[in-house]
């Protein structure tokens, strides 16, 4: 299987066999982390990283991944570069992508929330870079999807549960004051349903996710003979859950006149009560694991008792970001 040069904007774009190849290699890389087998795969190669939004785990994990593969990750902030935008003159994506293709072995882009004028603009930007670049474009999280997080979620669940097929994932909206994008939760729906999990989405009215993602998730479940359900009840979805993913996300009306209405979104979110993941709710499930892409809004999305409890695997999954990203970079930019 040859994945060299492939873009990764969403796991749904890749065949199951291709995703499994990434996960299989990630397991090997985690088991023998500093083996000489891996340390020259990106020797003398540079992975360029565009950070429109800040991060902790994303920058650290990609830089560590490049280093452990023998390469280098270069941190770039578009605000410090002369790039053309809707309101400023500068270099076009076509020109920037073509030139960067001569410098780097791959380009990662992270663009979320307040750095886009409307939902879908981040996806459009990555697609435009992918159109002109001769190197792989990797989403480091954008407004629609977060493929590296989705793969890390699956890797962590398999480590603790074995085969996830037939297990129930509850994706539930969580209270919070961070006005988060839909990227991580939508990726979780797509990849879990493709791998044979039953899926339930719980959220207050007005917080429905991208209709395409919901319908694709429903179709994925049907193909695998699994169930897809949704509810506006903050408790009912916990029944029979094997995995609980509680995270805040914005409403479908979050963007007005080209800007994220962050304060308004926070005020709306904090009006909803009863949506914090707690031990009482978790007890209604099948001794479920708690997952989250981090950073966790403790006390709002989830209680400390759950987030730091014995069934929380959030740190294991955060670690797995490193390993799946090493595998992605090795397969798309190097040689194994």
**Domain CATH for 139:** 3.40.50.1370
Say which residue the tokens 């926070």 belong to: 266
Backbone angles phi, psi at 110, to 5 degrees: -125, 115
Question: Rounded to a whole number, what is the largest CA-CA distance in the chain?
Answer: 56
Residue pLDDT, tens place only, 111-137: 999 999 999 999 999 999 999 999 999
Q: Is 2 contained in some domain?
A: no
Task: Supply the DSSP symbol for 167.
Answer: P
Question: Does 258 share its domain with 172?
Answer: yes
* 273 and 208 belong to one structural domain: yes
Q: Could you tell me if 41 and 125 lie in one domain?
A: yes
Q: Tell the burial category of 132 from Cβ atoms under 10 Å away from its Cβ (0-12, 13-18, 19+).
A: middle
- Reported in sequence order, the residue ranges of the chain that DSSP labels E, i.e. its strands, are 46-51, 72-76, 106-111, 137-142, 168-173, 198-202, 228-231, 243-247, 255-256, 259-260, 289-291
pLDDT tens, residue by residue, 62-96: 999 999 999 999 999 988 887 867 667 789 999 99
* Separation of alpha carbons 276 and 264, rounded Å: 20
Same domain, 110 and 218: no
Kindly report the backbone phi and psi dihedral angles of residue 259, in degrees, each rounded to the nearest multiple of 5, phi listed first: -150, 145
Q: What is the pLDDT of residue 70?
A: 98
Query: What is this structure's pTM?
Result: 0.97
Shared-domain flag, residues 299 and 179: yes
Structural domain of 267: 158-313
328 located within any domain: yes
Q: Rounded to whole angstroms, how far apart are CA atoms 53 and 56?
A: 10
pLDDT reported for residue 126: 98
Contact 198, 243 (CB under 8 A): no
Q: Is residue 84 part of a domain?
A: yes
Tokens of 98: 């073509």
Is 3 contained in some domain? Answer: no
Same domain, 304 and 167: yes
- For the chain, which ranges sit under pLDDT 70? 84, 86-87, 335-336
175 and 236 together in one domain:
yes
Residue 315: count of CB within 10 angstroms of its CB:
11
């Amino acid at each position: 299987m040859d994945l060299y040069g492939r873009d990764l904007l969403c796991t749904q774009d890749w065949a199951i066999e291709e995703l499994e190849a990434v996960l299989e290699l990630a397991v090997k890389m985690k088991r023998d982390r500093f083996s000489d087998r891996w340390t020259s795969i990106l020797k003398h190669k540079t992975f360029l990283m565009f950070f429109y939004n800040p991060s902790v785990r994303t920058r650290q994990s990609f830089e560590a991944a490049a280093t452990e593969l023998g390469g280098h990750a270069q941190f770039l902030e578009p605000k410090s570069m002369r790039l053309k935008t809707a309101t400023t003159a500068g270099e076009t994506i076509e020109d920037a992508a073509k030139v960067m293709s001569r410098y780097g072995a791959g380009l990662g882009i992270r663009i979320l929330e307040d750095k886009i004028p409307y939902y879908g603009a981040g996806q459009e930007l990555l697609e435009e870079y992918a159109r002109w670049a001769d190197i792989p474009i990797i989403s480091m999280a954008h407004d629609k999807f977060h493929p590296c997080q989705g793969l890390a979620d699956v890797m962590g669940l398999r480590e603790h549960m074995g085969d996830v097929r037939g297990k129930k994932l509850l994706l539930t909206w969580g209270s919070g004051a961070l006005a988060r994008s839909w990227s991580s939760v939508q990726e979780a729906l797509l990849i879990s349903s493709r791998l044979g999990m039953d899926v339930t989405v719980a959220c207050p009215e007005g917080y429905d996710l991208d209709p395409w993602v919901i319908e694709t998730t429903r179709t994925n479940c049907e193909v695998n003979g699994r169930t897809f359900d949704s509810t506006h009840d903050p408790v009912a979805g916990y029944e029979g859950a094997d995995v609980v993913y509680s995270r805040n996300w914005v409403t479908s009306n979050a963007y007005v006149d080209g800007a994220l209405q962050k304060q308004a979104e926070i005020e709306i979110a904090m009006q909803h009560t009863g949506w914090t993941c707690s031990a009482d709710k978790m007890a209604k499930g099948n001794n479920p694991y708690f997952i989250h892409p981090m950073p966790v809004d403790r006390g709002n999305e989830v209680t400390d008792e759950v987030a730091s409890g014995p069934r929380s695997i959030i740190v294991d999954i955060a670690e797995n970001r490193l390993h799946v990203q090493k595998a992605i970079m090795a397969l798309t930019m190097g040689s194994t």
